């Protein structure tokens, strides 16, 4: 297991230490070799990601079939849910001779994960090697799942870095992040923190107002990052501020890394004009099922065939198809034909491609959604996403806002949910929203959905 996974339970304690103590401990940790910090699996996945673009289509098919069979056989053997669902569908993983045979395998929804969590968890992997994570994703349907310690997070790091290297990323690069880190929950609180374990500048996603943006610009100019890793909504707020005030971006960057929210091609071009560098868009999710990013020279998103197996559902009226993925490597809780709730538009058949991989021209995942506080702060719902157990026992959650500074939190409880947990939920939400918000929690029988019938985090009437 990696040292990083072993120390993960102590992260909240580390975050509560004074900055001086965090700097001392972080600097010492940073000096450790990567193979110790990230574990052996990191090096193996890094080699795989670096070598894989040169693989032939035959090698890719052979690799995917092998990893699919391994995932499916383990799922059928050690996860009771899959044993039942495969048997009911008449699907036999051990009989798979080609990728076409996978078509008979049943799919998995977020609701299935909520209702059958224990039976989806492997009985073979020890509890000490499981890392529990939750997410609301882009839909507002909270789901919990297990990652495999020593595998899932080192793999994610290796493949993310491979994505980023398409725009020049290098080891020990200086990164500035504006991606949901809570530096201070107060409306007028501190916006700056420093992650000494990686020498990264961490800036708040919650204080991007006209009054505070000059502080961001000064902090970035002092830190001189090589790359900016940022939510698209936050990048657009910075760019719009500079344009409205007739200012130029003053900190030279080698690249801007944008993920977790939809960024249109026209918005990307705007950001590239403001930041004067390549903006790289990438797509992934907390469940670590599939991963995609733009190419080195292309605006198409390419799904890594070595990371997970991706399929696309039938087109809807707009020509969009749902992303359906199957995990590789995570045996703690394999997700098989998992319906992500995200939709894409496939690349045109005649599009010029860098890789012979599944490619899409548009990802219609989580939009740039905001709650607006009394003081005018915009709270990105992407930044708000929780990864702890705070929403366990809720079938769906949704924010509703019709008045600035007032938010209703709508929730659908499961039969096991107890109202005694409501104060804990309210405290967790308030830590993210800050002190310039009024909050109302309301149990509902149903949350509003999009015209496509999809759950969504926010209904705004502002």
Q: What is the pLDDT of residue 385?
A: 63
Nearest CA to 360 out of 281, 282, 293, 301 is that of 301
Cβ neighbors of 346 (< 8 A, separation 6 or more) are 312, 321, 359, 360, 361
**402 phi and psi angles, rounded to 5 deg:** -125, 0
| Distance from C-alpha of 60 to C-alpha of 55, rounded to nearest angstrom | 7
Length, in residues, of the chain: 462
Model-level pTM? 0.85
Neighbouring residues of 312: CB distance < 8 A, sequence distance ≥ 6 = 321, 322, 323, 324, 344, 346, 358, 360
Phi, psi at 265, each rounded to 5°: -65, -40
387 contact partners, CB below 8 Å, separation of at least 6 = 133, 134, 135, 286
Rounded to an integer, the average pLDDT of 386-393 is: 73
Residues 86, 106 contacting (CB under 8 angstroms): yes
* Token representation of residue 337: 């034909």
- Residue-level pLDDT at 77: 97
Span 409-429, average pLDDT: 87
pLDDT per residue as tens digits for the range 133-154: 887 655 667 788 999 999 999 9
Closest CA to 194 of 33, 8, 21: 21
Q: Which of 32-41, 308-317, 378-387 has the lowest mean pLDDT?
A: 378-387
Domains along the chain?
A: 1-365 (3.40.50.12780), 370-460 (3.30.300.30)
pLDDT of residue 290: 97
- Who's near 445: CB < 8 A, 6+ residues apart? 412
| Mean pLDDT computed over 79-88 | 97
| Residues 430-450: b if buried by 16+ CB within 10 A, e if exposed | eebbbeebeeeeeeeeebeee
Look over the chain and give the mean of its residue pLDDT values, rounded to a whole number: 89
Write 39-47 long-range contacts (CB < 8 A, 24+). 39/1, 39/2, 39/3, 39/4, 39/5, 39/150, 39/154, 41/2, 41/150, 41/151, 41/154, 41/155, 42/2, 42/154, 42/155, 42/157, 42/158, 45/154, 45/155, 45/158, 45/159, 46/158, 46/161, 46/162
């Amino acid at each position: 297991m990696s040292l990083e996974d072993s120390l993960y339970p102590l992260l909240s304690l580390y975050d509560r230490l004074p900055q001086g103590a965090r700097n001392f401990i972080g600097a010492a940790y940073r000096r450790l070799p990567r193979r110790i910090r990230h574990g052996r699996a990191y090096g193996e996945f890094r080699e795989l990601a670096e070598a894989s673009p040169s693989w032939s289509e035959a090698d890719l098919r052979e690799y995917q079939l092998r990893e699919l069979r391994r995932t499916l056989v383990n799922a059928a053997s050690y996860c009771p849910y899959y044993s039942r669902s495969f048997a009911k569908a008449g699907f036999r993983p051990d009989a798979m001779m080609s990728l076409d045979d996978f078509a008979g395998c049943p799919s998995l929804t977020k609701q299935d994960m909520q209702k059958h969590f224990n039976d989806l968890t492997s009985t073979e992997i020890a509890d000490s090697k499981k890392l529990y994570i939750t997410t609301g994703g882009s839909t507002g349907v909270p789901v919990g799942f297990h990652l495999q310690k020593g595998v899932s997070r080192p793999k994610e790091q290796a493949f993310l870095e491979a994505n980023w290297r398409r725009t020049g990323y290098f080891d020990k690069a200086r990164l500035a992040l504006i991606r949901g880190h809570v530096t201070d929950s107060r409306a007028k609180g501190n916006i700056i923190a420093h992650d000494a374990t990686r020498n990264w500048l961490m800036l708040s996603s919650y204080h991007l107002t006209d009054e505070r943006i000059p502080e961001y610009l000064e902090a970035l100019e002092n830190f001189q990052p090589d790359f900016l890793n940022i939510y698209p909504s936050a990048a657009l707020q910075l760019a719009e501020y500079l344009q409205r005030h007739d200012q130029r971006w003053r900190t030279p960057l080698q690249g801007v890394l944008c993920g977790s929210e939809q960024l249109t091609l026209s918005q990307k071009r705007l950001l590239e004009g403001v930041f004067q560098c390549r903006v790289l868009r990438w797509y992934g999710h907390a469940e670590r099922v599939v991963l995609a990013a733009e190419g080195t020279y292309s605006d198409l998103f390419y799904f890594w065939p070595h990371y997970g197996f991706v399929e696309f559902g039938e087109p809807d009226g707009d020509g969009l198809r749902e992303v359906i993925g199957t995990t590789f490597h995570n045996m703690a809780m394999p997700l098989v034909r998992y319906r992500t709730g995200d939709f894409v538009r496939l690349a045109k058949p005649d599009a010029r491609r860098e890789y012979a991989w599944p490619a899409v021209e548009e990802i219609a995942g989580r939009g740039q959604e905001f709650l607006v506080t009394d003081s005018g702060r915009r709270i990105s719902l992407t930044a708000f996403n929780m990864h702890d157990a705070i929403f366990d026992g809720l079938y769906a959650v949704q924010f509703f806002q019709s008045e600035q500074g007032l938010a209703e939190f709508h929730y659908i409880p499961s039969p096991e949910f107890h109202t005694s947990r409501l104060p804990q939920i309210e405290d967790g939400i308030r830590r993210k929203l800050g002190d310039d918000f009024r909050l109302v929690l309301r149990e509902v029988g149903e949350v509003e959905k999009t015209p496509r019938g999809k759950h969504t985090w926010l209904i705004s009437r502002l």
